[in-house]
Every structure is written in structure tokens, then in C-alpha cells.
């Protein structure tokens, strides 16, 4: 019998966990042809999420859990889940029902009947999201797709069902700075996209702040494009050409009209502008350097505190 593992990252989700399980029970009932494994990843929750996972494991052996020593972020939770998944097919799904479990049978059927390696999902539109957030997200996707060779699909969710081959490929990418939307695209394979309408959170609240989203978008840019690095070189060349023209103009002006002492304000403006641009470019280099620095340390992506396999330690 084919086995499907569902990886479910959870961070302070005590309110959503049971609702999710009840919903998945229906789906598992519907998909009798497959064996299920629900792999909950407790990403260092401070509430009762882990206790609920343990209870679920007691009650239903299809439920397993991994628990981190602290909060490592959703990307780390996805990686840990994929690494510990035993299924021939692996799905990644949010616990808050914003990734509708009811879509899973359809996704599975597509992989059975058609020649695809994974079925991915994206939001049909950005309804139910603050205007400013939509605007920032859309600008981000436009920007990153201009400068990156890897296509990052606008509105793509992490919710997808993959064949084992693809899961193994994703696991090969053991980088520390993880950006799943890019990684799933980078490994290639044949993807079928499904669209669905936005669903509100079942319970609890979102774990994303504007700051967190901003850092996440930087992760995407530095992880999947090196174009910003060449920006410094391009600006440098432009400024060299500009200064060459300015030197010529000043020499000619002095030769024709003499040399009255003037131009102090413009000089100050130029110094400010140029040093600003220089610092900006150094900052870009710094971003890449810091990512490289973390990468060379080879720190583990996650650390387990306990799991359903070992029991309590």
C-alpha cells in the first residue's frame, strides 16, 4: 500500500491542532487506498501544542511528532519533516486549514493518473489580505523574478504533494538559509499548479509580522539571485563616466571664465550622494557575506528535543 506522509509545521497552534486533526480524519477516511502518516513538527511552541501532539500519538498511531529545542522557523520545520517522512508521497500543509486538506485526494489522484512529480497550490487572488501587504508582496515577486533565474511563483503556497524522488532532491539542498518557494522550483521536476480561494485561519493568529516577512524576502533574494552584487559594479561604472564628463566641463569652464571659488553646496551634496551609494553597495555585499558566513559554519538546521520515536528524553 502506498504511504502518504503529511508534514505539518506548528508553532503555538494549540487552538488549531485538534480542528486540523478532525478535518484530516475525514480526508484519511476518504482516501482508504493509501496509508497515512501525519508528521507534526513542533517548532519550539511555548503553549500546549506538544502535549496535544502527544495525545494524538497515543490515540492514533498514524500521528507522529518531532519537537524542536527552540523556534527554528517554518523552513526548518519543513526540512525536518521531509527528512523524517517515511512516505512514498509527502505533502507539506499548514495546520491552520488555510491549506485545505480536502484538496489532498485531488492532488493524489493527479499524481496517480498524470505524468507529474508534484502538485503545488497557489492562491487564486489576494482577497482577505491588507492592501499594503498585497502591494509589498506583489512588488517583491515582480522584483525577484526579474533578477532570479529561478521562477518564484506569485501567491504560491508551501502546500504541495510530492513524489519521493522530488523529496530526496529537496533534501539534497541542505543549505542553512532556506527559502522553500525557491528550493521547490530549483530542483525542477514536473509541477501541476492548482488554484484555490483564500481561506481564513481556523483558529489562533498568524505568526508572520511585517519584519519577519521582510527578512524572509531578503532570504529569497540572496538565496536565488546574485544580481544585486553586480549593482555595485554597474553604479561604479556609471559614476566614473559621469565624473569624467564633469571633469571636462569644469576644466573648460575654468579655462573660459576663470576660477571663482564657488560650488561648496553642490560639493557637499555630491559627497553625501556618493557616500550613500557606497554604503548601500557595501551593505549589499554584507548581506551576501553574512549568508555565506552562516553557511560556512555548517550549523544544524534544526535541533530535536524529543520525538514520538524516541519517546521522552
Which parts of this chain interact with ligand UDP (CB under 6 A)?
Answer: 9-11, 13, 43, 71, 73-74, 77, 94-96, 98, 206-208
Between 99 and 117, name the residue whose CB sits nearer to Mg ion: 99
Q: For ligand UDP, which is the closer residue by CB, 73 or 182?
A: 73
Q: In whole angstroms, give the CA distance from residue 84 to residue 92.
A: 13
Residue 301's CB is within 10 A of a number of other CB atoms, namely 18
**Measured torsion, CA atoms of residues 215, 221, 224, 225, in degrees rounded to the nearest 10:** -150
Scanning the chain, the segments in alpha helix (DSSP H) are 14-30, 49-59, 74-84, 104-113, 131-147, 164-172, 180-186, 210-224, 227-257, 264-296
Contacts of 96 by beta carbon, 8 Å cutoff, 6+ apart: 13, 16, 20, 201, 202, 203, 204
SS3 161: strand
# residues contacting Mg ion (CB under 5 A): 3
Q: Which does 220 bind (CB under 5 to 8 A by kind): ligand UDP, Mg ion, none?
A: none
Cβ atoms 39, 84 nearer than 8 A: yes
Binding window for Mg ion (CB under 5 A); candidates: 45-53, 79-87, 91-99, 105-113: 91-99
Q: Are residues 118 and 41 in contact, defined by beta-carbon separation less than 8 angstroms?
A: no
199/267 with CB nearer Mg ion: 199
Q: Could you tell me the smallest distance in angstroms from the CB atom of residue 41 to ligand UDP?
A: 7
* Smallest distance, ligand UDP to C-beta of residue 20, A: 9
The reply on whether position 42 binds Mg ion by CB under 5 A is: no
Q: Nearer to Mg ion by C-beta: 18 or 277?
A: 18
Q: Pick one of ligand UDP, Mg ion, none as the site partner of residue 62 (Cβ within 5 to 8 A by kind).
A: none
- Least distance in angstroms from the C-beta of 207 to ligand UDP: 3
Least Å distance, CB 12 to ligand UDP, is 7
Q: How far is the CB of 158 from ligand UDP (least distance, A)?
A: 8
Sign of torsion over alpha carbons 52, 58, 64, 65? positive
Query: Cell triple for residue 178?
Result: 532556506
- In the region spanning residues 107 to 166, those forming contacts with Mg ion, defined by CB under 5 A, are none
99 near Mg ion, rule: CB under 5 A: no
Pairwise CA distance, residues 94 & 17, whole Å:
10
Distance of alpha carbon 89 from alpha carbon 163, whole angstroms? 5
For CA atoms 204, 210, 211, 217, the dihedral sign is: positive
Q: Given the complex with ligand UDP, which of 136 and 235 has the nearer CB atom? A: 136
Stretch that binds Mg ion, among 88-96, 162-170, 225-233, 302-310 (CB under 5 A): 88-96
Q: Which does 77 bind (CB under 5 to 8 A by kind): Mg ion, ligand UDP, none?
A: ligand UDP
Q: Least distance to Mg ion from the beta carbon of 95, Å?
A: 8
State in angstroms the smallest separation of the CB of 68 from Mg ion.
Answer: 19
For ligand UDP, the closer of residues 14 and 37 by Cβ is: 14
The position carrying cell 551593505 is 283
Q: Does 96 bind Mg ion (CB under 5 A)?
A: yes
Other C-beta atoms within 10 Å of 61: how many?
A: 10
Closest approach, Cβ 91 to ligand UDP, in A, equals: 13
Specify the residue, 46 or 267, whose C-beta has the smaller distance to ligand UDP: 46
- CA 99/CA 91 separation, integer angstroms: 11
Tell me which residues touch Mg ion (CB under 5 A): 94, 96, 98
Amino acid at each position: 500500500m502506498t504511504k502518504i506522509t503529511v508534514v505539518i509545521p506548528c508553532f503555538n497552534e494549540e487552538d488549531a491542532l485538534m480542528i486540523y486533526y478532525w478535518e484530516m480524519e475525514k480526508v484519511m477516511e476518504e482516501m482508504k487506498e493509501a496509508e497515512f502518516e501525519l508528521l507534526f513538527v513542533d517548532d519550539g511552541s511555548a503553549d500546549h501544542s506538544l502535549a496535544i501532539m502527544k495525545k494524538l500519538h497515543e490515540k492514533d498511531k498514524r500521528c507522529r511528532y518531532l519537537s524542536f529545542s527552540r523556534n527554528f522557523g517554518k523552513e526548518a520545520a519543513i526540512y525536518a519533516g521531509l527528512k523524517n517522512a517515511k512516505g512514498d508521497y509527502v505533502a507539506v500543509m499548514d495546520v491552520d486549514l488555510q491549506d485545505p486538506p480536502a484538496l489532498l485526494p485531488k492532488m493524489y489522484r493527479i499524481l496517480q493518473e498524470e505524468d507529474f512529480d508534484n502538485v503545488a497550490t497557489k492562491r487564486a487572488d489576494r482577497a482577505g489580505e491588507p492592501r499594503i501587504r498585497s502591494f509589498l508582496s506583489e512588488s517583491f515577486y515582480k522584483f525577484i523574478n526579474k533578477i532570479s533565474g529561478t521562477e518564484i511563483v506569485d501567491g504560491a503556497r508551501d502546500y504541495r504533494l510530492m513524489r519521493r524522488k522530488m523529496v530526496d532532491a529537496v533534501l539534497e539542498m541542505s543549505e542553512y538559509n532556506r527559502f522553500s518557494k525557491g528550493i521547490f522550483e530549483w530542483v525542477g521536476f514536473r509541477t501541476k499548479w492548482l488554484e484555490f480561494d483564500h481561506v481564513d485561519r481556523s483558529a489562533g493568529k498568524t505568526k508572520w509580522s511585517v519584519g519577519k516577512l521582510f527578512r524572509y524576502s531578503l532570504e529569497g533574494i540572496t538565496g536565488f539571485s546574485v544580481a544585486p552584487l553586480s549593482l555595485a559594479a554597474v553604479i561604479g561604472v556609471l559614476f566614473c563616466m559621469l565624473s569624467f564628463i564633469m571633469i571636462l566641463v569644469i576644466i573648460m569652464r575654468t579655462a573660459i571664465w576663470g576660477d571663482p571659488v564657488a560650488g561648496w553646496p553642490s560639493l557637499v551634496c555630491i559627497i553625501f550622494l556618493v557616500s550613500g551609494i557606497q554604503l548601500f553597495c557595501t551593505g549589499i555585499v554584507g548581506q551576501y557575506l553574512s549568508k555565506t558566513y552562516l553557511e560556512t559554519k555548517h550549523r544544524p538546521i534544526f535541533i530535536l528535543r524529543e520525538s514520538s520515536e524516541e519517546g521522552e528524553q
